[in-house]
Amino acid sequence: MERPANGRRVLAGGVGAPLASPPVAGASRRRVSPSLTEVKERMRLESVSLAYGDRWVVRDVTLGVRRGEVLALIGASGSGKTTLLRSLNRLTEVTAGASRAGAITLDGEEIERLEVTALRRRVSMVFQQPNPFPMSVFENVAYALREEGREGLRGWRRRMGARHELEPAVIDALRRAGLYEEVADDLDHPALRLSGGQQQRLCIARALAAGPEVLLLDEPCSALDPISTATIEELIVGLRESVAIVIVTHNLQQAFRVADHVAFMHLGELVEYGSSEQVFDHPRMPRTRDYIGGAFG
């Protein structure tokens, strides 16, 4: 364990839960040092500010999102972390009155220049509430794979018989999300019959299906029980080799367990950014220290 017990105590004292026996994810993850996987920057945020109407919720954030590591956005409610996350796939545009300044690039290309549907296939997202569509498990994943609009009538007819074409990709996505073994026999069952944790993994499978380069997770475990949370954390750590992952979390222990880098936000500003070890063990800024120590939140 490269992280000494006293390093955890800071955190344990702060959030009031013992970290001495971390769930599976935390323990196994620390063995993989970032140098083992090739780290490559996929997204870059340059002086990004975001506003709803005339209220600024994110101010002047500069950050990099890299494949091969997990970036956690932490901070109190209303610190702008979810808004920042949603701006990465332009989901902020769904909200009326939202505006943005600064540049966000994906593999060097401004995300405004990309077709929004294409962008969202490359920068996928999982939400706080597990939200499978009211269709079968198979269809939930297949939906993400189908390119609508380019098909026309012939494509539509093909879709009727397309199951065998899509099946390998659907199964692969379910495997990557660690769900396939549990649902292999129930692919045609309604997705809403799955447990909460399974539903969330189905949402992750759905998000992975289109082969995104970046996966955004907005508090993906906040509605789940501890065992499902541990399963998903393990999954996140395993996935970072193939996708760049950004996770918003309220749960400091979770950030500590899964993240390689941590960005601490407060009232819309990026207060501190650094490696997980640095931010949790030796926070530079007093506000970070207070937040991690539990002074506010």
Partner 1 sequence: MASTPLTPPAPLRARAANRPRDSISSWPLADRIGYMLCWAAGLSLCLIAGAILLLMFIKGISYLRPELLVESPSAAKDQGGTGGFLDPIEGTLLLTAIGIGLAAPVGVGVATWLNEFQRPAWLARAVESGIEMIAGTPSVVLAIFGLLVFARGSLGFLSQTSAGGAVYGRSFLIAGIMMSLLALPLIVTSTREGLAQIPAHLREASYALGKTKATTIRRVLLPAIRADIASGVTLGIGRIIGDTAIVVILMGGTLQLQGAGGAPLLSTLRGTGSTLTSYVFENSPAGEGNAPQKAYAAAFVLLLTVLALNLAVTRMSSGRAAAAKQP
Euclidean distance between CA atoms 173 and 37, whole angstroms: 21
Q: Binder to partner 1 among 27, 117, 184, 195 (CB under 8 A)?
A: 117
Q: Binder to partner 1 among 49, 79, 124, 231 (CB under 8 A)?
A: 124
Euclidean distance between CA atoms 39 and 209, whole angstroms: 22
Residue among 228, 216, 250, 227 at smallest CA distance from 92: 216
Residue window 10-49: x/- pattern of binding to partner 1, with contact defined by CB under 8 A: ----------------------------------------
Q: Binder to partner 1 among 149, 152, 161, 168 (CB under 8 A)?
A: 149
Which residue is listed with tokens 């780290």?
Answer: 39
List the interface residues with partner 1, window 217-236 (CB under 8 A).
Answer: 223
Helix, strand, or coil (residue 197):
helix
Q: What is the sign of the dihedral through the CA atoms of 191, 194, 197 and 202?
A: negative
Does 61 sit near partner 1 (CB under 8 A)? no
Q: Binder to partner 1 among 130, 197, 220, 268 (CB under 8 A)?
A: 130
Residue among 94, 82, 101, 96 at smallest CA distance from 216: 82
Q: What's the token pair of residue 295?
A: 């002074």
Q: Binder to partner 1 among 192, 250, 281, 290 (CB under 8 A)?
A: 192
Does 169 sit near partner 1 (CB under 8 A)? no
Cite the beta strand spans of 123-235 per DSSP E: 123-126, 214-218
Which chain residues interact with partner 1 by CB under 8 A?
Answer: 89, 91, 94, 116-121, 124-125, 127-131, 133-135, 143-144, 148-149, 192, 203, 206-207, 210, 216, 223
